[in-house]
Amino acid sequence: MTYEIALGDRAYSSWSLRGWLLFERFGIPCKARYARLGSDALRTLIQEFHPARTVPAVRFPEVAIGDSLAIAEELAVRHPGVGIWPRGPAARALARSLAAEMHSGFRPLRSGCTMNLRVSYAHFPVDEAITDNLRRLEVIWDYARRATGSSGPWLCGDYSAADAFFAPVAARIASYALEVSASAQAYVEAHLDDPAFRRWRAMSLVDGDDRLEYFHDCPRREWPGPTPLPARAVQHGKPENSACPYSGKPAAYLMETGGRFFGFGTAFDRDKTLSDPEAWPEFVRLFK
C-alpha cells in the first residue's frame, strides 16, 4: 500500500521533515508532494488533503489526516512491525512522552532558531528562554537513554518516532552552533550522520531558491555534518550507467566524481546526488 504525503520546503519546514522521516526511516512507501510554505501552490495542495490544514498531511485509503503526532500513531497501528514506537512498554511510553513534549513545547527554540538546512552560523546570539530549552533537552535526552538502557545513539533503543521528532531540533543545534552538553552533542551528530537525514538535507540544498526570510546576518561556518564526497554537474562525458539509478529513465543529466561519470533521469536526481553522493543507496551500489 502506498500513501500520499503533502510536505513543504525541505530546507525550512521542520514539521515536513518529521512527517517524511516517519515513512523514509521505517521503510513505508509513500508518494511525496511538495509546495513552498505560504504559497498558493501549498494552499491548493492542502485542499486535496481536507480536512488537514497544514503540512505534513497524509492521505490514507479511507481518510486524510494532518498533524505529525497523529500520523505517527496511525502508522504505528497500520504497520505494527516496523518499530515506529519501541516494543517494550516502558520505552514505548517514554518515547511517546518525548514526542509529545517536542510536539507542544520548545517554542522559544523553534521560533528563535527557525530551521534552515542550507546554512550554519559560527555565532548566533540566544536569549535565556532558548538556553532554558537547550538545558531541558539535555535533561530529557539523558534521562531517556538511562531509563531505557539505550546502548546505541538513539533515545529509547532503536530509532523511533521520538528520534524523528527531534531531528529538526538536531538540525537547529547544528545550524546555529548552539552549545549543549557532550552527550546531547553526540545525539545531534547521530542525526547529522543518519543516511535518511542526509538524504533530506541533500534534497533541501537543491529544492528551489534561497528564502531570505530564513537567513540571519551572522558569521557562517561549514555545515558540521559529514563532509560529502566531492561531485559536480557536467555537460559532457560518458556515463558508466545508461539508466537513472532512481527512476530507470535514460541517463541524460551528468555528474562527475573522482574522475568517473554517472547519469540521471532528471536534473533534480543529479543535483540531490551531487549534494551528498554517499547518502543515496541506489547511487552507492552503482558507485562501488
**Are residue 62 and residue 143 in the same domain, yes or no?**
no
pLDDT at 120: 98
In-domain check, residue 223: no
Contacting residues for 209 by C-beta, under 8 A, at least 6 apart: none
Residue 233 sits in the same domain as residue 137: no
Domain housing 114: 89-200
Identify whether 217 is part of a domain. no
CA atoms of 127 and 64, how far apart (whole Å)? 39
Q: Which domain-ending residue is among 48, 78, 108?
A: 78
Instruction: Judge if 100 and 164 occupy the same domain.
Output: yes
In a shared domain, residues 190 and 111: yes
Same domain, 179 and 232: no
Is residue 218 one of the residues assigned to a domain? no
193 Cα distance to chain centroid: 11
Q: Are residues 93 and 196 located together in one domain of the fold? A: yes
Any domain includes 272: yes
Q: What is the 3-state secondary structure (H, E, C) of the chain?
A: CCEEEEECCCCCCHHHHHHHHHHHCCCCCEEEEECCCCCHHHHHHHHCCCCCCCCCEEECCCCEEECHHHHHHHHHHHCCCCCCCCCCHHHHHHHHHHHHHHHHCCHHHHHHCCCCCCCEECCCCCCHHHHHHHHHHHHHHHHHHHHHCCCCCCCCCCCCHHHHHHHHHHHHHHHCCCCCCHHHHHHHHHHHHCHHHHHHHHHHCCCCCCCHHHCCCCCEECCCCCCCCCCEEECCCCCCCCECCCCCCECCEEEEECCEEEEECCHHHHHHHHHCHHHCHHHHHHHC
CATH code of residue 64: 3.40.30.10
240 and 141 in a common domain: no
What is the reported pLDDT for 1? Answer: 67
**Strand 3-7 versus strand 30-34 pairing type:** parallel
Does any domain span residue 208?
A: no
Residue 49 located in a structural domain: yes
Could you tell me which of 190, 200, 76, 89 has the C-alpha nearest to residue 148? 89
In a domain, 179, yes or no: yes
Question: Which set of grid coordinates corresponds to residue 116?
Answer: 534552515
pLDDT tens digits for the chain (288 residues)?
Answer: 679 999 999 999 999 999 999 999 999 999 999 999 999 999 999 999 999 999 999 999 999 999 999 999 999 999 999 999 999 999 999 999 999 999 999 999 999 999 999 999 999 999 999 999 999 999 999 999 999 999 999 999 999 999 999 999 999 999 999 999 999 999 999 999 999 999 999 999 999 999 999 999 999 999 999 999 999 999 999 999 999 999 999 999 999 999 999 999 999 999 999 999 999 999 999 998
Last residue of a domain, one of 20, 48, 78: 78
What pLDDT is stored for residue 2 in this prediction?
A: 79
- Is there a single domain that holds both residue 182 and residue 234? no
Total number of domains in the chain: 3
**CATH number of the domain to which 193 belongs:** 1.20.1050.10
Answer yes or no: do 56 and 96 share one domain: no
Verify that 171 and 249 share a domain, yes or no.
no
Residues 101 and 11 in one domain: no
Q: Which of 26, 46, 78 is the last residue of a domain?
A: 78
Inside any domain, residue 96: yes
Residues 111 and 68 in one domain: no
Nearest in space to 162 (alpha carbons), one of 172, 153, 151, 173: 153
